[in-house]
Structure 1
Amino acid sequence: ALSSPCRMACTRTCSRILGLSLGSAALCAAGANLALLFPNWDVTYLRRGLIGRHAMLGSGLWGGGLMVFAAATLISSMGWRAGCFSKSGPCRNMLAALLSSGLALLGALVCFLTSGVALKDGPFCMFDVSSLNQTQAWTYGYPFKDLPNRNYLYDRSLWSSVCLEPSEAVVWHVSFFSTLLCISLLQLLLGVIHFINSLLGLLCSLCEKQ
């Protein structure tokens, strides 16, 4: 069986890896959300206020980005600080673990839910709202949100025929919100792993003291 110091080193190494992974994921989430603010890398839509509410909410920036990055920094510091589990005390260790895990899980969960709703509602774009025998009328909105009996995610023929502007609006929306969804799911998994790892480290410190 592994000695207690060896197990302690394993938990610290795991914290370093988790911190680095969460930090990298947070930067990717922030980058994906930033891209959603500039469809086709065009700043015009942001200046004119023609960005969807899901992207403007910025859950990938402050949730999956800033909150998770702050948690990653704390997790990494726990891993690099020598003897962090054995010298700081069980209560302080548990508090740090709960704080870092809570930050990561909350930020990732907000980003995950927002991305899921965004994919369900579809992109914010200009589309034709005119009906038969009426003049053409274009407006900005969510053309796929209340589309009866058709799901745009599975019907690729709608991607280029409904949204008139920005060009490739559906591809841009689906690509980056799907990326955010996957990143936030990974962050949730890493947050749970970190909490379990922290519990193991706490048990090791208690056994070492005994």
Structure 2
Amino acid sequence: MCSGSFAKCLGISLIPLSIVCVLCNILLFFPGGNPVESEHITDQVWYFGGILGSGVLMIFPALVFLGLKNNDCCGCCGNESCGRRFAMLSSILFAAVGVAGAGYSVIVSAVAINHGPECVVNINNTVKHWGYPFSNGDYLSDKDSWPTKCLEPTGVVSWHLSLFSVLLVMGLIQMALCAVQVVNGLLGCLCGDCCGGSDGSV
């Protein structure tokens, strides 16, 4: 497969992943599927890892990858293959932007999973207030403690863990795809659009 066609496949793959990440981040603003006061939304949700990192920043490399197959950069001194090589080289920069954005989302998601959600906690069976009862990640192996330590919103722990886990996995996949494009871009720059064939071929 030519490097331009392969980059297009990567771009097509990145778009649905970005949409999923944006949706997950939006759903996190409704803990347990319930609307709450903005000050009671988990801090890491406001870092917009899924919206900015794996969403907006990922759109730029995705669009660039999609257009690489037919992009000759207007040629280079009348040499079309030179323009294609430059386009493949420039795609490496956008791939790096994608890696950075997805990496940001992965870091935010990992911190959020370890920190746990903000929810209504019960102190001494008398006082209820919003807080973070799972501050050191030990809740992951103690599922039975979720409903007793997080009273409200209902199901907030599983909601928090599921959505941030999806963001984490999607971010890792995006990083891998962008890293692959770095290698593909280098090959396209060195060998032309099709290694072992004519540079301008499809």
User: What runs of 5+ residues in structure 2 fail to find an aligned partner?
Assistant: none
**1:133-189, Cα deviation, whole Å (9 max, x unpaired):** xx611111111105xxx8101111112211011100100000000000000000010
2:29 to 31, 34, 37: 37
Give the 5 Å matches for 1:102-141: 102-130=96-124, 136-141=126-131
- Equivalence for 2:81: 86
**1:187-208, Cα deviation, whole Å (9 max, x unpaired):** 0100111111111111112986
1:170 maps to 2:163: no
Alpha-carbon distance in 1 for matches of 2:34, 2:46: 15
TM-score (structure 1 length as normaliser)? 0.83
- Equivalence for 1:5: none
Contact 1:27 1:69 in 2 (8 A): no
1:151 to 106, 126, 138: 138
Alpha-carbon distance in 2 for matches of 1:119, 1:40: 15
Q: State percent identity of aligned pairs.
A: 28
**1:1-36, Cα deviation, whole Å (9 max, x unpaired):** xxxxxxxx6211111110011111111111111110
Give the 3 Å change call, closer, same or farther, for CA 80–28 of structure 1 in structure 2.
Answer: farther
1:161 maps to 2:148: yes
RMSD: 2.3
User: What runs of 5+ residues in structure 1 fail to find an aligned partner?
Assistant: 1-8
- Equivalence for 2:44: 54
TM-score (structure 2 length as normaliser)? 0.86
Matched positions, count: 191
Contact 1:64 1:108 in 2 (8 A): yes
Alpha-carbon distance in 2 for matches of 1:91, 1:78: 10
Q: For residue 101 of structure 1, what is the amino acid of its counterpart?
A: A
